[in-house]
């Protein structure tokens, strides 16, 4: 299987699993929490059909990548991405990041610049700053993050059953936009991730990306579901658009946080158009 080594923990290398399919203009897809590169299944098909080379990878701690006990912060995530694209010798490629993956895009471009990247899409992303403060009244209070971390610590298996209800808005979408089997697969992926990494990632959700976003000088598409119950559109999508000069903002009407599955047709159409 294809891996890129991004570090070392004691006697073990830290490796990222990736898949690389198709030909043409390359697109790198960065998944959200608590999933893996497989979460892009529906987008990968559409982008391959549109003539792109599509590269997915699993964030450290998730999917088939290594599960170290350290490195769950956005400086490290961005460094991991840089090592991947450098190893694959990618230039002129596009980036799309969902949820936490939007944070990778912000920190990667803010730290490493845009010389390699052609365009980027942030899909229901975590930037710019999710923590509720007087400056960010639409954000999420600190005690909510504390409660999530505590619930994951107590019983992450039970927690992810509840998580999926709001991730996919199952009261509205189950049986129409998503099957019980697809929800089960998302649960399987979530509970297969690193226990330590799963809990550690919660604190990264209120990373401050407000200094990264204004540095981005390539075309950026910001997509966000209007019914996102995980990352509120007022705190994330709209504010990200405001901070990235010249970005394009497309709210996906009625879409959940898991819009890459529940509203795949709308997401696919926007990505194919933007990356054409």
Query: Would you list the domain boundaries of the chain?
Result: 3-274
The mean per-residue pLDDT over the stretch 212-220 comes to 98
Say yes or no to pLDDT of 23 above 90: yes
Peptide bond into 60 cis (omega under 30): no
DSSP 8-class letter at 99:
T
Whole-number pLDDT of residue 270: 98
Say yes or no to pLDDT of 1 above 90: no
Say yes or no to pLDDT of 51 above 90: yes
φ, ψ at 248 (rounded to 5°): -105, 135
- Per the CB < 8 A criterion, the answer to whether 28 and 13 are in contact is no
Query: Average pLDDT of the chain?
Result: 97
Question: Which of 264, 262, 256 has the alpha carbon at shortest distance from 43?
Answer: 264
Whole-number pLDDT of residue 167: 98
131 — pLDDT class (breaks 50, 70, 90): very high
244 — pLDDT class (breaks 50, 70, 90): very high
Question: Is 257 known to be catalytic?
Answer: yes
Q: Which of 99, 124, 247, 256 is catalytic?
A: 99
Q: Which of 36, 228, 241, 263 is catalytic?
A: 228
Question: Is 228 known to be catalytic?
Answer: yes
Whole-number pLDDT of residue 28: 98
Between the alpha carbon of residue 232 and those of residues 93, 130, 132, 150, the distances in Å are: 29, 9, 11, 21
Q: Does CATH number 3.40.50.300 belong to domain 3-274?
A: no
Tell me the per-residue pLDDT of 52-89, one tens digit each, with 9 for 90 and over.
Answer: 999 999 999 999 999 999 999 999 999 999 999 999 99
């Amino acid at each position: 299987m294809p891996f890129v080594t991004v570090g070392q923990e004691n006697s073990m290398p830290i490796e990222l699993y990736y898949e690389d399919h198709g030909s043409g203009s390359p697109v790198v897809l960065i998944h959200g929490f608590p999933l893996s590169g497989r979460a892009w299944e529906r987008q990968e098909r559409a982008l391959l059909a549109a003539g792109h080379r599509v590269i997915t990878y699993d964030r450290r701690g998730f999917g088939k990548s290594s599960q170290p006990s350290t490195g769950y912060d956005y400086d490290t995530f961005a460094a991991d991405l840089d090592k991947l694209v450098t190893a694959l010798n990618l230039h002129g490629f596009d980036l799309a990041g969902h949820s936490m993956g939007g944070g990778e895009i912000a920190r990667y471009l803010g730290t490493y610049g845009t010389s390699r990247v052609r365009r980027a899409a942030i899909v229901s992303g975590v930037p710019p700053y999710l923590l509720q403060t007087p400056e960010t009244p639409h954000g999420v209070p600190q005690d909510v993050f504390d409660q999530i971390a505590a619930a994951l610590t107590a019983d992450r298996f039970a927690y992810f059953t509840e998580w999926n209800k709001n991730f996919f808005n199952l009261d509205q979408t189950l049986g129409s936009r998503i099957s019980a089997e697809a929800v089960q697969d998302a649960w399987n992926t979530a509970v297969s991730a690193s226990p330590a990494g799963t809990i550690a990632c919660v604190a990264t959700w209120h990373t401050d990306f407000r200094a990264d976003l204004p540095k981005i000088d390539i075309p950026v598409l910001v997509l966000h579901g209007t019914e996102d119950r995980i990352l509120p559109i007022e705190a994330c999508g709209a504010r990200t658009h405001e901070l990235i000069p010249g970005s394009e903002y497309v709210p996906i009407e009625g879409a959940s946080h898991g819009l890459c599955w529940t509203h795949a047709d709308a997401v696919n159409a926007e990505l194919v158009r933007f990356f054409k």
